[in-house]
Each structure stands twice: as C-alpha cells, then as structure tokens.
Chains A and B, each alone.
Chain A
Amino acid sequence: MASSAGERLSVLQRHLSCPGREGPRRGTAGHWQPAAASSPSPKDTAGAPSLPRRRQEVLKWNGWGYKDSKFVVHKEDGYHVSFTGNRYKIGNMVLPHFASWVKETLGVDFEDCQPPQPPPQPHQIPQPILHPGLLEEVRALGLSHSLEGEDRLFRAHGHTLAEIFTLREGMFPRIPDLVVWPDGHKQVEKMVELASRHQVVLIPFGGGTSVSGALLCPEEEGRMIISLDTSQMNSILWVDEKNLTARIEAGIIGQDLERQLRARGYTSGHEPDSYEFSSLGGWVATRASGMKKNIYGNIEDLVVQVKVVTPRGTVERYAAGPRLSAGPDIQHFIMGSEGTFGVVTEVTLKIRPLPPVVRYGSIAFPDFSAGVRCMREVALQRCQPASIRLMDNQQFRFGHALKPPTGLMGLLVDGLKKVYITRIRGFDVNKMCVATLLFEGSEQEVTAQENRLYSIALSSGGVPAGAANGERGYMLTFVIAYIRDLGFDYGIVAESFETSVPWDRVYSLCHNVKHRITSECKERGIRHSFVTCRVTQTYDAGACVYFYFAFNYRGLSDPVHVYEEIEGNARNEILACGGSISHHHGVGKVRRQWMNQTVSAPGLGALRAVKEYFDPENIFANGNLL
C-alpha cells in the first residue's frame, strides 16, 4: 500500500540521517519560512503530515491558517497590534507602526470591534441529504468518513472574501453531506465508481485554500454531495534519483512535501504563497504557480505524469519521457480542470538537489515605472533570480508599517539607509518602490547573478537596498493572509486577485486598475480604501501582477456584494487593458463569467465536450470553470 511505502521510506530516512541533520539549516535556507516544520514536536518526523485529519484541531474554522497565529490588538496607552505564536518570524512581537497605519489608511476605529459569531451549534449546520444505501457501501469498503457537522462545514468553502464572511456572519445554504478520506488511488477509484452508480456528487478537496469559490457547493444541487478529502493520500511513493523525479500522492500539502524532499536533499522548488496548506492535487487542478518558478518552473513544467480518476475511468499518460509529440497533451486537459473531470490521485514531479546558497536582496526605485522598466530589462536579458518581485509604493509603505521594533543598531542602520535613499539619492518616500530578490544556487552562481542584476538595477535608476528588506518582503507574503481576519473585526474587508499581462501594458494596467478601484469605491460612498499591487513574476512576454484591495465597510449594508461588484469591474478593466482572467488562482465560480471572452465560444464548447465525455452524468458537479 502506498501509505505504508511512504512510512517505510521515512523510517529508512530516520535511520540514515542523524538527528538535527535534516538537510541545510533553515537559517540559511530562509528565516522567513513558516517555522512549523522545524518546531520541535514529538511527532516531528519528516514523514508525518503537519495537519491532522481533523483539521479544525490546528486550523482556524473561520479564517486563515493556524489557530495559534493571528494578529491581535491590545490597548495600553493607545492601541498596539501584535502577531501571536512562534511559527513566523514576526511572531510574539508588537508591531509599533501598524496601528497608526491602519487608522490612517483605512480609517479603523479600534473602539468599534465586531467579533465573528461563535462556531455554529450542530443544529445550525444544514442537515445532510443522505442517499439510501450509499453509506452502507462506504462502510463496507472500509472508507474513512464522517457525517459530523464540523467536518462537513470545514470542507464547504475556500478562502474568498465572501466565503469567510459567510463563516463569520451567516451559514452556507448548502454544504457537503458526507466527507470521505480515501487512503490511496484504489479507494478513490472505488469511491468514484460508487458515486456514479448511486448518482451522487463528488467534490474533491485538497488543502482548502481556493480563492475562486471552487469548493462551494452549488446551491441548486439536489443530489447528495460528498467531499472527497485527499489529505490522507500524502506519501512520496518513490524518488528516482537518476532522473530526478518523484512519484507523490496528490493529497500531500506543500510544506510536508518540501520537508520530506529536503530530508533527502531535494526540493520540488514549487512554492506558491499558500504552500503551507495547499496540496499537490490542488496545484495540478488549478495550474498553480510558485514563487521560484524562474528556476524550477510552474506546475505545468514540473509535472511529468499525472493520474486522474474520472467516472469514465482512470486517465494516465504512460510515458515518463521529458516531452512527447502525441497530439494535444492529455495532461494539459487535467491541469486547470478544477475538479470538474475527476480526482488527481498521483503525480510524478521533477525534483532538484537543494541549492547550497540562498540569499535575499532588494532594490529601491525612485518610482514604479522605473521599477517596471528594470523588471522588463531583467526579463529581456533572462537573468531572473529564483524570485524577483516589484512592490508598488503603497505596498512598500505597508511593509514598513509591519516592521517589528528594531534595536538601537538596527535603528541606526535603518536611519542611515533612509538618509542615503531619500536625501542623497533624492527618492520621494511617497513614490519610491522596492523590488525583493531571492537568489538560489552555488556561491559562484549567486554572486554572478547578484552582480548582473544590481548593474541592471543601477542603470534603471535603482539602488540596492539590502538583504533584510528582501527577506521581510517574502515573510510578509505568508503573514499578509492573516491580516484579513483582523480587518473583519474592525469593518475592513480585503481580498487579493491577480492577472498576467504583456510587458508593454504592465504599467498602464497597474495604474488603470488601481484608479478604477479607487473611483468605484468613491462612487459607492466608500471613504477609506487601500489598493496596492506588485509585479510578482516575470516571463519573456509579460508579467504576473498581484493586487491587494481593502476597504472600510462601516455604513454599507452589503459589503460582500459591494466588494464583488468592484472586483468584477476591476476584472473588466484588467481584460480591457490586455490582462488575463487569472495567472494562477484559477477560474472557479467567481471568474466563470469571463471564460467565454478568454477562450472563445468554440474553445469553451470543446472544454464542455471533454467534460461531457469524462463525466457524462456530472458526478463532479462543483460547477467550476465551465
């Protein structure tokens, strides 16, 4: 059995490696990374999953991430914000500038706190619709399952604003009726066969980090809905060190995959911002993109083979060769199918040896357009480091607001840096922006990359601004997701969305979308709003742009609806400016309306026909994409 193979391997691993020698120290590989993996705990073996089957024991039921990690507000001569827990670098620290930043930018009144509703009582959770006979067969098969309200509610949603808002203030009209945890490909095949035979709906669930409404149960669905949780299929089945590939079960989450590969001296190099919680199967199903794609590639570059169970049978491409010419790639039908064709059960992924050197860096630019010019030049010369991201001025200042207190020396260095950049170089603090850099490779490679990059930066008007700024930038990526939950308490709704766009339109798209959002807010009487963007990925022909948008909804009756209207208009603006429907979040339900203009009517028709073939009775009826 697959899981036992995984266990055997991890036991073997433990025998081979002395304690404390789990690959390179985290200190060198990156402080910013969530410390969950390295925090000592009795169960801390490379093979054990970080999240239990009952996710609610460790994760928030109505917000992002770990229960013990969150922003909190204290009152003691004024208000202070701090971050709890010791999983992240800013954990257990007061953030001295943050309270005044939110007050100024978003008009937050710390007196006016509205905590979320308590966890629902069992009677408040919709009663399950049960299909006669099915449950017995599930039991007979020995499939692990649950009818408990908490388990079902936990798998009824992803993390869009609307979903979290519903958890805090209401209840979903429809949630899964049953949760099953297959332990491997065989059990998935049985489950899909069972569902087809009984005409019930299956919605695959991986890490639950979707931001496209993909996990929501269609309200009008009258059949029983089963959430197929893949989290127990989480082993690395084998590692092929000759070809640098690994066969992995699709339910494994990012941090476990990395930790286990790291223990063997490898990395997948796939690090989406959600990688602490999101799963391999989810990455495949949404065409995910990782921060370090410049070295390792996006999921479509990393996947060698993928195995999917559809109601028509198991789809596989029986060739592990690096490329083949055999008609349209069947695996590309699967990647991005968002759970509408079937369940991804196993994936062969490329792996790479761990890089010996990891270094951060940052560059300050006088303004955003100079930054974009530099990014374009870097892409033109194809000398991107593992990651290069350009934050606009708003995000740069936001990052500063999240700075932990610094010691006297730190203050001195910071002060000097600031004097140099603002006084000597003449940068305007209200215009300047920063690019953060992550280098990986051998010492030689990294040094060469640094030299080349900083010389491009200098010629586009930038100034190298130190490793600390860069490192903090990447840390914020993980922490920023936690801020939204704090915002909710004080009448702030926030969300992020992304796009990809050709180079010549990057600047105007960023400018136009921010302008559009600001004016849409104004039209709706929103007094405080915050919109910021960053160019997070570069390609030969364009870039990926990521937006954060928050506003103060005190005084509005239906903030979620207002938000959705504004995001809809922002997406229209994005498309009109040459941007795409999505770079890596996927379509789900919230962006379905733009599929037609994205792939043309015949294109969409072809996708529907594929769905019709794989799943003629619409067992995978999550209603995504098509």
Chain B
Amino acid sequence: MTRKEIFDHVIHSDRVRHTISKLVEEGGDGKALEAEVEDILEQMGHTQELGVIRQFAFVLPKIMKKIYGKVLINEDGIEKLRNTHVETPVVLLPTHRSYADFLLVSYIAYHYNLPLPVIAAGMDFMNMAVIGDKLRGSGAFYIRRSFMDNPLYWAVFQEYVQTIVEYTGAPLEFFLEGTRSRSGKSLPPKIGLLGCVSEIWLRGRLPDLAIIPISISYDRTLEEKLYAYELLGIPKPPESTSGLLKATSILKESFGDIFIHMGEPVSLRSYLGPRVDRHLSASIPAHLASVTRSELCACEGLGYHILRQIQQGAVTSVWSVVCIQLARSLHGGCWSLPLATLVKEVAWLIGILRRTGAAVALEGTVEEAVVRSLSVHKQLASLGEDRVVYISRIHQADSHPPTTQKKLNLSAATVESAVTHLMLQHYINQAIHLLIRPALVALALHSLLHETNTPHTENLKERFAFLRSLFWFDFIFEKEVEGRDFMEGLSVLTWSGEVSVVQEQVQMMRSDSPFITTLLHLLSPFTLTYSCTAITLDSQVWEDNGLLVTAIQSQVERCIGSSGLYSALSLDSIRHSIRAFTKLGIVTRTTSVDGQARLTSDQQKLASVVNILGTKQDKHLQARL
C-alpha cells in the first residue's frame, strides 16, 4: 500500500468517520475536522523510500563498524521470523536501551532480506532536521506522546496502526517499554500500542498475529553517561541534529559487541485466547466496540509476558557481572580492587548465573573476558599496570555536559559519587532479572528471621508475594505466576546449599553465606529507595506533583550515609515506588474540590513496609559495628 492508499483507508474508515460525525454533533466543524485528519496523517505518516533506505544501508554499517566490534545474532531466530511472515502479520518488539536500537532491527531486516518494519517513533525525533525526514523515509511514523484526550487523534492513530498491520504486509515495530530505559532494567510495558494492535485480533479482523520479542544487548550503551545524569534529575537536552552531531565524538570510542536475540514468536491468539471472551463484543460493529477493561488487562499481561521473553533471550555480558562486584567494592568505600580478587568473584557469580540458565557472553577465560570488558569501559574502570582495577569518578564538578538553569536537588559531593554508581548500576540492572527471584526470597527470609527462627514456607511465600508486588514496577514479573516465581527463587537458594526446607520449615544453612549476601546487596539500593519513600510519605500529606519525588530523593541522600548506596537516588525507582505504593493501596490519591490531587497514606502500612524492608535494623547494625 502506498502512503496515499493508507491515508485514504484511514480517512474512509468507519472509526474516523464516526468520530468526526460525533464531534460535528457536539458542534464541531466537519470540514475543519476532515482537514485536521489530513494534517494528523501528514504529520504521522511514514513512507518507505528505497533511496533513503539505501542511504542508511550505506552509512549505518560504516558507523557501526567504527564504534562496535561484532553484531551477533541468532540466525535460527531470523529463519523463524521469515517463516512466521508467511503465516501471519508480524509485530516486532525490541528492547529499548539506546537510540542505536532505532535502525538496528531495520538494518537486520535489510541484511537478511526480510520485509522492512514500519516503526512507531516519538514526535521528538520528527523535529530533528534532516534525520527526522530520513527516518520517516525509512519507515518511521510519528506519534504524539499524549493524546488520550483527543478523540480524533486517537481514532486516526488506531486506524493508522491497524491499517499497517492488517493490509500492508510490513511488520510493525515499536518499543513496548515506551521509552529508552535509562536504568538498564526492563520498564513496565506501555499498553497503548499493544492494545491497539491486539484489537485487530480481538475484533476478529485477523486470525492471529505473531509477536517477536527481540532482545538487544549492548556491551556498552552509547548514552551511559547521559542516563546517569538523567536519573539523578538533570534533564536530557531535547533531541536535535546538532546534539547528534556533537555526539559524534563517540565515533572515536569503542562500544564493544552487540547481541541480538530474535525470540520465539508469540501467538497473540494463543496468549490472549484463554484470557478473553471475544464473543461478548462480536455482535457490536467493530468500530464501536472499544477494547474492554478485561481485554486491556489481558493485553497488559501479554506485555509482561513479552518482556519476560525479552529478558530470557537477552545475553548477559561479563561486564554486568563485573559491575556487581565493583559496586560491592564501592559500597564498602573502596574505589579500587585487585584484578585477581575481581576475577575470582566474577567467575564465582558467572558459575551461579549459568546454573540458573543465563546466557553469559563469555569467550576464553574469565580473566580474559574481564580484562576485555575493562578495556571497553576504560572510562569507568581501568586496569592499572599494578593489576589493580581503578574505578573512575566520572563526574568532575562543573564539567557535566548538560548545563541547566534548574537548581540541582543534590549536593555536589553526592553527584560526584552518584554518577559513577548509577553508571555501574545501569549494567548491573541489565542482569538483575536473572537473580531477582532468589533475591526477593532471600530478602523475604531475611526479614522473617527477625521475627522467628524457622519460618514456614507459607509465610515465606506470603512475604515474597508482598515484596514481588511492592517491586512490581521495578522488576518485571509475569501476571498469574506468583507461585512459580516463588518456587523458582526458592529452588535457586536450595540447590546452592544456602537454604534448606525440611517439613515446610525454612532454614538458613549459615549466617554469612556469600551468595545470600550478594543477593541482598543487589537489592539494597532498591530497599533504601522504597524505605525512604515510605518515610517521606509518612511525614506529611503530599500533593501529587514533582515535589514529592524531589523530597524522596533528598531523603535518600540523607540516608545514604556511609552505606555508599548512591544508586538509590535513581528517580526511576523513586517514581516506581510511588506507583507501587498507590497500587497496593498504601497511598490513596484523592482529588479535592480545587482539583488538586492529594496523596494520603496509611501510616500503619507504611510502617510495615519499612519494617519488612529492614533498613531500620540494618542501620542499627551498622551503628553497633
């Protein structure tokens, strides 16, 4: 279908015409609305011009060869994708960690002679000179960030997306996480586009859709430094071509390898089929039967399912494991450690990860791999002549790139350490999904042991379930599989010999287990953030605006003390914690007469969160030590 044909299809669709006639009834001007539809389409619409695609195909490899080592991809996944294309329309859902994701999938499609995807992009790209149009020419279409309150835009957007999937034969590509994940973890899925795509199947317009989870893992993320600043609250500069040109300095650096894993196609029908009742809306004209609440809920479940598939397909770099150990050293106040110690600890942890089924990108010996990753990341941690690894303070006062007028919430000293911490955390987070289940079981056990010596598995499970829903937005879990997650976490702990379960009684085998210590350590920045959120919420009734976030961040800063847990300052986790507290009913949002949303909290529940997260006891412990 040509651009014009797609536009015509959208303009003449029942949904768009219906929306216009409704707006006209409400006093809108029909002609103006029709013109608006065309404007929206002009702004949104993609083209796929072979010329532009060839330009990219020419330039991209040159840039990529310059900055990246190898691009490794599972070719069986490519073949599966090729076969799937014959069967059903395809939706590609890659991870979003970097701008580099943008054309990577298209480039691979081009390379393997697969249909080129049509990519949903945020409006900010469109305004970039030249690049905006080039991206459009290579198949990107632009959507506004928020348009739920604009029924006409919403109708045009839905029809546009659905027309692409139903009629063009081109795969649709979008980022399930909505935005680049600054923290390196998976972000909770945005279900707007996924729901819109699912609607095609929900309303019986296509027999099935195949969703391909694509995991893109970078040895080193292009935007690593920018992300760290952003997470601290120093905003990103708006997307601009000049900004991109400035970023060309990165061309002189090395960013290691890229691993791409094309996941097993997920059939929309197989996943949603048992979870929805399509016949209920099957007798309403399709354009009037909007997606129901329970259908959206099922789509959300699908989103989490896909994210888990993406996580399971991701390749873990040795550097992520290195960062876990470097962070431990930093928390202990050491900015350097001997290579030998590091290698030993990394090797130990890799062993455990591999036993849990993780794919670790390890070539040669662990030492070689560690040294290689240090050379890629030499700005962050470098290997001295003396075989000692030195961690760098990335932030030099008044040298950080984006200068802003906004007063910084944090002290200069804090920022100085925090940037390095958050950069390490970015890589730790890329592997954290591998250990989150045993880590939460360990934390649950740890907190229960304060109450009783041999907790019952049911209590442990209950505590785990609470923690799992508390950290729901920070770590991705699948809906409906709480029991499976618990068993998975517990079994990792039992086979590693740290915990035993006898007659439903759970026992720690030794108090100073290195594995459990590592797991608790992994969680420590998060528990600090969530505790501080609880403490801050407890202090007053908050209006629902940015002030709360800043206040929590300040609280975290005050609490860090000697713990060195600077990554707890991450705004990402702070926002997730507020969301989780709201979802769990610990905090309730009320809108007062003046239209101001207020957050009132249940103090008892807040206290129990702090108690379970155990920061009080830890501080107590630290004081005694």
Contacts and interface: CB of A to CB of B under 8 A. Distances in A.
A504 B278 CA distance: 16
B10 to A, nearest CB: 18
B265 to A, nearest CB: 12
Interface string B196-216: 000000001111100000000
A314 interface: no
Nearest to A507: B205
B282 A578 contact: yes
A578 B203 CA distance: 9
B283 interface: yes
A576 interface: yes
Interface in A488-505: 502, 504-505
A508 B283 contact: no
Contact of A504 (B208, B277, B286): B286
A575 B207 contact: no
Contact of A576 (B87, B88, B282, B285): B282
A502 B203 CA distance: 13
B293 interface: no
A573 interface: yes
Contact of A578 (B88, B204, B277): B204
Interface in A149-206: none
A573 B207 contact: yes
A515 B208 contact: yes
Q: Which of A508, A509, A513, A576 lies at the interface centre, i.e. has the most chain B CB atoms within 10 A of its CB?
A: A576
Given A575-B278, A575-B279, A519 B208 contact: yes
Contacts of B207: 511-513, 515-516, 519, 573
A107 B208 CA distance: 27
Interface in A468-510: 502, 504-505, 508-509
A512 B282 contact: no
A607 B208 CA distance: 36
Contacts of A519: 87, 207-208
Nearest to B280: A597
A501 to B, nearest CB: 9
B208 A576 contact: no
A356 B269 CA distance: 52
Interface residues of B, number: 16
Contacts of B282: 505, 575-579
Contacts of B208: 515-516, 519
B204 A576 contact: yes
Interface string B50-94: 000000000000000000000000000000000000011000000
Nearest to A501: B282
Interface in B220-241: none
B285 A512 contact: no
Interface in B261-290: 269, 273, 277-279, 282-283, 285-286
A387 B171 CA distance: 42
B586 to A, nearest CB: 39
A508 to B, nearest CB: 5
Contacts of A572: 273
A597 B205 contact: no
Given A519-B87, A576-B279, A597-B279, A512 B204 contact: yes
Contacts of B283: 502, 578
A512 B87 CA distance: 12
A519 B208 CA distance: 10
Contacts of A508: 204-206
B285 A577 contact: no
Contacts of B269: 516
A573 B204 CA distance: 8
Interface string B131-156: 00000000000000000000000000
Question: Considering the complex of A and B, which 4 residue pairs feature the smallest CB-CB distances, nearest first?
Answer: A576-B278, A515-B207, A577-B204, A512-B207
12 contacts: A505-B286, A508-B206, A509-B204, A512-B204, A513-B207, A515-B88, A516-B208, A519-B87, A573-B207, A575-B278, A575-B279, A579-B282
Given A519-B87, A572-B273, A576-B282, 16 more contacts: A504-B286, A505-B204, A505-B282, A505-B286, A508-B204, A509-B204, A511-B207, A513-B207, A515-B207, A519-B208, A575-B279, A576-B279, A577-B204, A577-B282, A578-B204, A597-B277
Interface of B: 87-88, 204-208, 269, 273, 277-279, 282-283, 285-286
